[in-house]
Amino acid sequence: MLSRLRHPPKGKAKMDEGTLLREMLEIYSPSGQEGELAAYLTDRMGHLGFDVSRDSVGNVIGTLGDGPRELMLLGHMDTVEGWIPVRLEDGRLYGRGAVDAKGPLAAFIVAAARVGPLPGLRVRVVGAVEEEASSRGARALLERFAPDAVVIGEPSGWAHVTIAYKGSLSVTYRLRAPRCHSAACIPSVAERAVAFWNAVTDYARQHNNGEQYRFHTLDPSLRQIVTRDDGLEEEVEMRLTLRLPPGVDPATLRAQMESWADGAVLQFGPVDPPYQAEKSSPLARLFLQAIRAQGGAPSFKRKTGTSDMNVVGPVWKCPIVAYGPGDSALDHTPNEHLDLEEFHSAIRVLEDVIRGTAGLRNP
């Protein structure tokens, strides 16, 4: 069921883009708790002239124009947990989500509102939910829309464009066994979990075979390990994430890990396959031109993490890039901040890209 709010503007609404971003940062919105920010954006975007709706999973969807071609600017409202006091210091705005990814989403909103409706083009700005958890928001869009071009809102740096992301596979390992004395020769559940982890890392090392470029390496990470003991049984739970390079078959990898389980129960999360977009697409070329027009030296990036590009790219099969202001090295850190000059530069680039997309026959 959709909730809809429309504020027909009496001329274009005046907007302070720095205020928009700051107010977004002041609303704490970890994954699953985006409701307050969604309500704020629904109201704010309505006043900026968007036709705004909220869908059944909580995504905020703002539309400008009604042309036959559609450009979707797909950002996300959620952040990882951890409150960072919002403050402005030396032209840098600090706050959770400044980089990942409220800064890019705010840039989408500002740029689209500044450009306004264009003949022949529908611009749809989406603030999706739960990108940091399960990409629930992006998955809910797959069957509803079929855009002609997509920009994913993730930090690339204003003069750079991201065209590829590694995939990911999450695994939860659980093992229970009768408690035994430490002098016994039977491995504890903790030792058996460590043996499983060592098997995973050895497999990755063999797969990588000295490869230095991180985009092509299989990278396991141990996110959590917890043991419990009630005096009769002991239990261990371990959570892993594997970053998947192109060429790794997730089914083969799962089967290999099952062979090492040794009585443990493995639970696999959804697979996000690696995805690489075409860097010579008309959309990518528009970004290169727009960055050069702002005095930048554009380049392409391939990221070792994942984004909603991994979800929508294989389904929509249209020109797609990820773009947004900010240094992705600050993602999820206690020092997360965004340089406001970079924020303004990214907005100008996006304005040029939106106008350029309206002039393309096939974006």
Domain CATH code at residue 235: 3.30.70.360
Instruction: Tell me the C-alpha distance between 290 and 351, whole Å.
Output: 9
Upstream peptide bond of 358 is cis (omega within 30 degrees of 0): no
Assess whether 323 and 180 both reside in one domain: no
Contacts of 324 (CB under 8 A, 6+ apart): 75, 101, 103, 104, 105, 107, 153, 154, 155, 156, 346
Is the domain of 105 the same as that of 201?
no
Same domain for 99 and 201, yes or no, is: no
Split into its structural domains, the chain has a count of: 2
Determine how many CB atoms are found less than 10 A away from the CB of residue 193. 23
Whether 96 and 29 have beta carbons less than 8 Å apart is answered as no
Same domain, 159 and 183: no
Total-model pTM: 0.90
- Determine the Cα angle at 305 with ends 86 and 259, to 5°: 130
Three-state secondary-structure class, residue 70: strand
Q: Among this protein's residues, is 90 annotated catalytic?
A: no
pLDDT for the residue numbered 17: 74
Residue 131 known to be catalytic: yes
Question: Which among 51, 55, 131, 351 is annotated as catalytic?
Answer: 131
Please report where in the chains the tokens 């930090």 appear, as a residue. Answer: 155
Hunting for tokens 């829309």 — which residue is that?
145
Question: Quick check: helix, strand or coil at residue 248?
Answer: coil
Q: What is the pLDDT of residue 186?
A: 82
**pLDDT at site 234:** 95
- CA-nearest of 8, 15, 259, 227 to 115 is 15
Residues 155, 171: one domain? no
| Domain boundary residue, one of 268, 303, 323 | 268
Q: Give the CATH number, domain containing residue 141.
A: 3.40.630.10
The set of residues, in sequence order, having a beta carbon less than 8 Å from that of 266 and lying 6+ positions away, is 171, 172, 173, 174, 254, 257, 258
Domain termination site, one of 220, 243, 268: 268
357 vs 289: CA distance, rounded Å: 12
Is 363 inside any structural domain? no
Cα gap 97→93, rounded to integer Å: 10
pLDDT value for 15: 58
Those residues of the chain that have pLDDT short of 70 are 1-15, 181-185, 361-363
Q: Which of 17, 55, 78, 342 is catalytic?
A: 78
* Start-to-end CA span in the chain (Å): 31
Same domain, 182 and 257: yes
In the chain, the amino acid numbered 145 is F
- Look up the domain containing 262 and give its range: 167-268
Q: Which of 226, 252, 268 is the last residue in one of the domains?
A: 268
Question: 121 in a domain, yes or no?
Answer: yes
Shared domain for 118 and 216, answered yes or no, is no
Residues 192 and 113 in one domain: no
Residue 350: how many CB atoms within 10 A of its CB?
28
Whether 131 contacts 137, CB under 8 Å:
yes
Contact between 178 and 232 (Cβ < 8 Å): yes
Q: If you ran DSSP here, which 8-state letter would residue 316 be given?
A: H
Burial of residue 116, with CB atoms counted within 10 A of its CB: 0-12 exposed, 13-18 middle, 19 or more buried = middle
pLDDT tens-digit profile of 167-185? 999 999 999 999 876 666 6
- CA–CA separation, 270 vs 249, rounded Å? 14
How far is the C-alpha of 141 from the C-alpha of 72, rounded, in Å? 11
The reply to whether 333 falls in a domain is: yes
Give ∠ CA 203-204-210 in degrees, rounded to 5: 115
Q: Which has the closest alpha carbon to 338: 352, 324, 321? A: 324
Give the separation between CA 2 and CA 5, rounded to whole angstroms: 10
Q: Which residue has the tokens 């958890």?
A: 133
